[in-house]
Amino acid sequence: MLAVLEPWWGGFKGADGARERALLLPRLYFQHFTDTSSLVERPDGSLAAFLVGFLSQTDQATAYLHFVGVDPALHGQGVARSLYEWFFGRASELGARRVECVTSPGNTASRAFHDRLGFTTSPVLPDYDGPGLDRVAFTRELDDSG
């Protein structure tokens, strides 16, 4: 997964962005959040897409989508929507009633995608993840369709 972060994000935010993304995926996600995360592989075993998510321990009505990526060769075919719908179902089963996630304000693909999936978007939150690391936050209630 670390190997695809640069090409799949198209060099977004340069070397700093690549470092930021790599630090978002320490091994603990693949040890402690496997029931709410998913990998999609092609028949030859190469990575096609991934989603890393979990349930909040602090607020059990909230599920959090930590990271998602789809191979650019597969964009626009509903792969991320399918992964999100799977996660919505999984989060509902586990008792969550809403899903939250964040992205960089300049990630226009992510913003458009979350908008299409029915998330509401916050204003830009300056320094949300540290100095210079602004974010926008997305929220979506899990209703009967989720």
Ligand X SMILES: CC(C)(COP(=O)(O)OP(=O)(O)OC[C@H]1O[C@@H](n2cnc3c(N)ncnc32)[C@H](O)[C@@H]1OP(=O)(O)O)[C@@H](O)C(=O)NCCC(=O)NCCS
Binding mask of the shown chain, residues 3 to 42, with x at each position contacting ligand X by CB under 6 A: -----xx---------------------------------
Report the distance separating Cα 98 and Cα 91, nearest Å: 8
Compute the least distance from the CB of residue 98 to ligand X, in Å: 18
Instruction: Lay out the sheet containing 136-141: strands in order across.
Output: 38-41, 47-55, 62-70, 98-103, 136-141, 120-121
Rounded Cα–Cα distance for residues 67 and 30 (Å)? 12
Instruction: By CB under 6 A, tell whether 136 contacts ligand X.
Output: no
Binding-site size for ligand X (CB under 6 A) equals 20
Note whether 138 and 121 are within 8 A (CB). Answer: yes
Out of 18, 39, 48, 109, the residue judged to bind ligand X by CB under 6 A: 109
Could you give the CA distance from residue 108 to residue 31 in angstroms, rounded to a whole number? 31
Footprint of ligand X on 67-86 (CB under 6 A)? 67-70, 75-81
> Least separation, in Å, of the C-beta of 42 and ligand X?
15
> Nearest Cα to 123, choosing from 102, 137, 106?
137
Is the distance from CB of 142 to CB of 88 less than 8 angstroms? yes
> Per CB under 6 A, does 116 bind ligand X?
yes
Of the pair 62, 82, the CB lying nearest ligand X is at: 82
Is position 122 an interface residue for ligand X (rule: CB under 6 A)? Answer: no
Binding of residue 48 to ligand X (CB under 6 A): no
Q: In the structure encoding, which two tokens stand for residue 101, read together?
A: 């996630």
Catalog residues that contact ligand X under the rule CB under 6 A: 8-9, 67-70, 75-81, 103, 107, 109-110, 112-113, 116
